[in-house]
Every structure is written in structure tokens, then in C-alpha cells.
Amino acid sequence: MSLDPKQTHVLHEWKHGKPLIACCFDPTGRYLFTSSEDYTLQRWDLKDGSKVAWEAHDSWIRDIAFLPDGETVITAGCDDRIIFWPVTGDKPQPRAEVVAHKGWIRSVDVSTDGALIATGGNDHLVKLWDPNGKLVRELVGHKGHVYSVFFHPDGNSLLSGDLKGVVHQWETKTGKLMRSFEAKELFSYNTGQKVDYGGVRDIALSPDGKTLAFTGLHKATNPLGAINEPLVLLFDWAKGESVRKQPAEGIRGIGWQVEFLSDGSEVCASGGGGGGYLIFFKPAEEKPFHKLKLKDTARDMSLHPDGLQVATAHWDGYVRISRMEKKAAK
Amino acid sequence: MKCDYSCQSNDHLIARRQFLGGLAGSFVVGGLGALTNPVAAEQLKKNGMRVLVVYMSGGLSQLESWDPKPKTDTGGPFRAIQTAVPGTQICELLPKTATHMDKLSLIRSINTKNNDHGKGRYQMTYGRNKMPGTEHPHLGAVCAKALERSDNPLPGHIKVPGGSRGSDAAYLGPKYASVGMTGKPPANSERAKNLTESADALRNSFRRKVNDRFSLQRRTAETDVYTQSYEQALQLMEKRDVFDVDKEPASEHEKYGKFDLGKHCLMARRLLENDIPFVQVSHSNYDTHNENFNFHLEQLGEFDQAFSTLVNDLHERGMLETTLVVVMSEFGRTPKINARFGRDHWGSAWSVCLGGANVQPGGIIGKTNENGTKVIEREVDHGHLFHTYLSAVGLESSEAFDIGGREQPMADPSRTPISELIA
């Protein structure tokens, strides 16, 4: 069996019962963590779908990340805090808790070597932390809410994307702003409704390190009414130039997450007025080569370490795990 | 609107007297109640009551503002914060406003039984349900007439932002209809550069003479309004700077915020200081079916700065005791959070914030259940609210206007004020 996006099918549907917000596989591939509007964090055992849930923050959890050893999970809350939890145990207690930002923390990521943790918040700041929750560096430069943070696998760079469609590249050792990518198509100001809308919802890098992907939305003719379409933008990493726009025409929604697959293609999870989709693109092509409609709108997506499974968090209270290969014969 | 003024009916005489004499003659019903009492009327005039409405267009979420329900299934991501009133909490999106809650009160038990924008706007600003074939005046028109200053030539009913004269005064007549302003002096309000002051005075004198002769035989409501418009325009030209918010120092603009609502609230202060009886400022847009939390974060950030600054200024300048401040919408938003992180229309259990004038400060009227899905104490609707606004500025809301010999109740006669809120 091997990766075949066109054969993607939903393998598991596990019910939490309350609307889900975020999801993330642990790096060892044993568990899937999800968060919910009921303020709990859930740990799903991939062997049997059993769940352990506990109240975690004073508010919603917007993002989840892990230290590389798979023993510690970090949750980013709308209560200004990041909390470090043990991955296992029936009643996990916080290992550390940090008031990290003023306002929501929308994104958290961990460097490949586990030495640094990055957070991005509504205070327009990006912050770097050590694995014990000690502040290492504060990165100032965004002029809007920070929606996404992403460590380059080489460990030298951090990327952060904001509401206004600006992605900054920071040198992790010094905190110096190296350059910026203009992903302006992912932002709009609606003069009728007088609202800012969009944002760089997620950032990914291709396996060969040559191509960056940013996702979000465009064609926002009615932001308050969710009339918009998902969009993926590809940039050349070396040149810093835009190389392709990948719209998902006809689908109403937001591109919440984008990941590169082992064959170089991308999968984007979208959710919104048009329901939930997994949308597959090839970097050399503008149009998607495959779309899978999900049963309910998706709000987050995580790629399993095996590269063959994606989990999606849904408003209907289900987490769905899809396999991107041919269905096994019964 | 053709009326029989030219017949010299009593109605006309009353109307003429009202126009000339201001407040004291404006009311005839209620057994010649307080307002027809010259002493009371004089007192009201002396008090110089005013009304400021901040209209949160589209439907402000009560859960993200005045009635938070944190950590419930409807609560959303925002937390509740303490205010200047011990025991009263509002949403964390309003930290600056929270420090002024000792000057304001909340009504948390509104059920308008309506989820339609147009109907909701009508309910909340006209105080009644919209019925085919009937017209009632906007709250602003009612206030402009009932709180009219005979010595102030400026319009009594101003909407910010806006660009033209509204048709929202119904039987009270166009004189009390809204005038839209943006923060700049009205267009063409400067005397033309090639027209000398004396030439202008001469032509106005001629116009008045011709108008007077015409009105002796063929006077109508339309000709009256036409004449008034000219006279008002002349007076406006003299006071055009009142409408120029750029006359305010840069530090004031900074304080209110360099965005539309900041500018409009500063403009509102300027208008209220110039004794305009009714000013409505609108803030757009709260119709957040999608990403309710992101958009409330953005919009209420502006509101919190501009509104709290305005309340503080009114307080510090001694104006709050004569200025009713109301923050309203056409309805609230659903407790249930939809699939797009949105909240939809919800008229069944929502809130309004008000204060100043004769409103008891620091109060909370009514209550919703644990997750905000229904009113469980002291249910009120738009009719009660309309009465309450009028009562708060010293008017007897059960009284009526005499229009052409017909009594036109100021507010819905089937409702009464929320009396426990009025000092």
C-alpha cells in the first residue's frame, strides 16, 4: 500500500459530542489530540479510538503541538496561556503553564530539535520559548494578529503569518527579521461591512525544501456571511517569489491547514459555508487534482507521521481520520 | 403630507405656537400633565436633556458584550471581567468600558420576538412593531420635538454617519427628521465667494417677503418646511463649524481613536456640547454569521476605546447627568455557535446598555438563564425600552402629541417604562 490521494477515504469517525476546534497527531503516532468548544482537551488512542478528556484552559484551545520525544503536548489557549501537559495518564496535570501573550494564542510550533517553541498571538507578537516555558526571544514586526507560526526544519528560521497576509521570516538565533513574503491575496478589507478578513491560516514547506505554501481564503465578497473561497499560495523558498495561486473554485470556505505529502503534492483542509473538504493540489498545477467532501465542515487538520493519514476536527463533534491510499480489502 | 393649515384650524394654531414657543406648548394630553405645566417644561428646558444612541448595526452579540456566559456550551472563547461595579461582569472585549460601568446600567432581559434586521431596527428605534399602513416617528424625531430648543437653530435629530435628510419623523413632520453628518460641515454651507454679505442679506430679505405674501393665502405644511429649510440653512451656515470635527485638536482624535467610530464619537460629543437634543452614532458591522469572535474582537476594540472615552468626557464635563446614553442593536446573536464560528440572529434574550440622565447607574435589570438561551427574570421588549428612554430624559412617556387634533401617543400605550431603572 502507498500514498494515493485520489483513493482517500474516511477510515474512522470518533465522536466527542461537542464542536471540535483543533487537532494534532503526536510525533510517535500513538495518539491524536483534539480540542473542543467545551473547553476540554481530548486524547484519542489510535489503536481503538478510546478517549480521555480533561478541562484544560479557561478558554478555547486554538492550537496543539508536541515536543519531539512525544512525551509532552503543548496547548495554546485563548486565555493568553500555553500549557505543557504529559501526553499519557488518565488525569494529566500541567507540567508548566505560561502567560505567553496578551490575548489569544492562535498558533504554536516546535522546532525539529525541540529546543525552541514558537507562539503567535493577538498582541501582534511572536515569541520563542525554551522547552521549560522560559521566554527566549520576542519578535516584533507584525501589524496584525499572528495567525500561524512554522519552524523551518533546518532550525535556523521561523516563519510567522498574520491577518494582513504578511509572512515574516525570522532568524531563530538572533530574532532578526530576514525577509517578508507578501501573501496579500489572503487578506481583504471589506469597505461595506468595514471589517478586516482573511489571514495566513497555515504555513507548510515542501519535502525538498524548495516551495512554501500558505493557505487561507480569498474572494471574500461577504465576510460576515462566510462568502469566500479557500486559496493556497506557493512561494519559491530561495527567491522569495510567488510561483502559483491555487484556488479551490466553487467551494465556499477557508483553507484552515495545508500540508505537503511525501509525493510532493499538497492537501488542504477547508471548512465553511460549503461544508468540509480535503483538497489536493500538485505544486505545478493551479487547479486541484482531487477533492474529498467530508460529512461536516472542517476546522483543523493534522498529518500523521506515517504520511498516509490525516485527521480533521469537525463542528459536528466528530474527529475524522482519513487514509490517503486505496481501501484495504475486507 | 398635505394638511389644511391654510384653513387656520386650531391644529394649525397649536402647531404654530409649538414651533414658535418651543417645548411648553408641545403636549396637550394626559390631563394637562407635567409637561404642559410651564414650570415643569421650563425645568426640562433648563436641564437641557439630550439623547445619544450608539447603534451597533447588524446585531451586537450580548455574549461578547453585556451578558457573557463563560465556560458554558454557548460561552465562546472570551472571558468575563470585573467592572467598576462589584459583582457586575462584562466581556473581556470591553476593558475600558468596564471601568465606567458605575455610570451605566444593563438591561439583560430583552425579548423582542424577532430575528429580522429591518423589523428589529424599527422596533428598537421606533418603539413599536412595524405595521402596514401606520407610521410612527423615530426616537430621534420624538426627542427632537419633545426636547426642542427654541433658541438653538441647529437640527435636533442628527445621525452620524449619514449624508442626507431622513424620512423618519412621520406625523411630526420633516422638521424633526434626521439629518446625516459625517464629521465635515454640510456641503455648500459656505456663502459663495462671489456673493457679498450684503447681497446675500438682500436676496434673503426678498425671499422672506415673497414667502410671507404667498403664505397669507396658500400656506401648507410643505411651504412651512420649505421656509424652515431656508431659515435653518442660513443658521447652519453661521454655525457650520459645529459639524467640522477637524476643529478638534489632534490629541482628542488620538484619544477617541483614529478610525471612523472614534471620529464619529468625537463628533457626537461636539454635537451634544452644542445642545443637539438627539444624536445617533452607528458602528458597523456586527452581523457576524461567520467568525463572530474575530469580528467582535475587531469591532469591539474600536467601540471600547471610542465609547469609553465619550462616556468619560461626558462625565468629566458634567454632561452625563443630562445626557441619556444608549447602546442598542436590532437584536442580539444566537447563544449557539454555528459551524463557521458564527452566531446568527437572536431576538429572544439579549441586552442593552444605557446610562446618564435619570438612569440609575450601576444597575442590572433582568436575567437570562445559565447559557443565555432565554430570559428568566423581568422580561421586557422594545416598547418598554422606548418608554424608558423617554422617561430617562424627564418626559412623561404616556403622553401624546396633538397632531391635527388627533392624539398620537409618544410611545406604545400598551407598554410602560422600566420604572425601577429611573431615578
Domain identity same for A172 and A233: no
Name the grid cell of A84.
505543557
CB-based contact B404:B174 (threshold 8 Å): no
Residue B34 or B252, more confident: B252
Query: What is the spatial order of strands in the sheet that A72-77 belongs to?
Result: A61-66, A72-77, A81-86, A96-99
pLDDT score at B39: 52
Pick the residue from chain A with its C-alpha nearest to B287.
A224
A195 to B295: CB separation less than 8 angstroms, yes or no:
yes
Domain identity same for A282 and A167: no
Chain center to CA of A10: 20
Residues of B with CB below 8 A from A192's CB?
A: 285
For the segment B194-201, the average pLDDT, to the nearest whole number, is 90
- Residue A249 inside a domain? The answer is yes
- pLDDT tens track for A301-327: 999 999 999 999 999 999 999 999 999
Domain identity same for A130 and A194: no
Residues of B with CB below 8 A from A40's CB?
A: none
Identify the residue whose cell numbers are 454640510: B186
3-state secondary structure of B128: coil
The percentage of residues in chain B with a pLDDT greater than 70, rounded to a whole number, is 89
Phi-psi region of A226 (alpha: psi -120 to 50; beta: other; left: phi over 0): left
Mean pLDDT, chain B, rounded, equals 88
Domain boundary among A182, A216, A233: A182
Dist CA A199 CA B370 (whole Å): 34
Q: Which domain holds residue A85?
A: 48-182
Triad B351, B352, B353: Cα angle to 5°: 130
Triad B258, B323, B90: Cα angle to 5°: 65
B19 has pLDDT over 80: no
For the segment B282-294, the average pLDDT, to the nearest whole number, is 97
- pLDDT tens track for A97-153: 999 999 999 999 999 999 999 999 999 999 999 999 999 999 999 999 999 999 999
Q: Is the dihedral of CA A173, A175, A178, A180 positive or negative?
A: positive
Contacts of A83 (CB under 8 A, 6+ apart): A56, A57, A74, A75, A77, A94, A96, A97, A98
CATH, residue A109:
2.130.10.10
- Residue A41 inside a domain? The answer is no
B residues 236-295 closer than 8 Å to A (CB): 260, 284-285, 287-291, 295
Domain identity same for A308 and A230: yes
- pLDDT tens track for B332-355: 999 999 999 999 999 999 999 999
For the segment B193-211, the average pLDDT, to the nearest whole number, is 90
What does the H/E/C string look like for A192-224?
CCCEEEECCCEEEECCCCCEEEEEEEEEEEEHH
pLDDT score at B13: 32
A37 to B337: CB separation less than 8 angstroms, yes or no:
yes
Domain identity same for A134 and A234: no
Domain identity same for A220 and A311: yes
Domain identity same for A8 and A118: no
Name the grid cell of B249.
485638536
- Band (pLDDT 50/70/90 cuts) for residue B225 is confident
Pick the residue from chain B with its C-alpha nearest to A298.
B339
Instruction: State yes or no: cis peptide before B285, omega within 30 of 0.
Output: yes
pLDDT score at B37: 41
Domain boundary among A117, A149, A182: A182
Topology adopted by domain B22-152+250-421:
Alkaline Phosphatase, subunit A (3.40.720)
Q: How many domains does chain A have?
A: 2
> Which of B340, B343, B345, B371 would best serve as a mutation to test chain A binding (most A beta carbons within 10 A)?
B340
CA distances from B299 to B13, B87, B262 (A): 49, 26, 12
Domain identity same for A171 and A207: no
Domain boundary among A167, A182, A197: A182
- pLDDT tens track for A177-218: 999 999 999 999 999 999 999 999 999 999 999 999 999 999
- pLDDT tens track for A281-305: 999 999 999 999 999 999 999 999 9
Dist CA A133 CA B20 (whole Å): 74
Integer Rg of chain B from CA:
22
Residues of A with CB below 8 A from B77's CB?
A: 59-60, 62, 78, 104
* Among the listed residues A270, A327, A303, A296, the one whose alpha carbon sits nearest the alpha carbon of residue A19: A296
CA distances from A51 to A47, A84, A88, A200, B115 (A): 11, 19, 12, 31, 39
Dist CA A125 CA A102 (whole Å): 9
Nearest Cβ partner for A226 among B77, B78, B289 = B289
Q: DSSP secondary structure string, B331-393?
A: -EE-SS--TTS---EE-SSEEEEEESTTBPTT-EE-EE-TTSSSEEES-B-HHHHHHHHHHHT
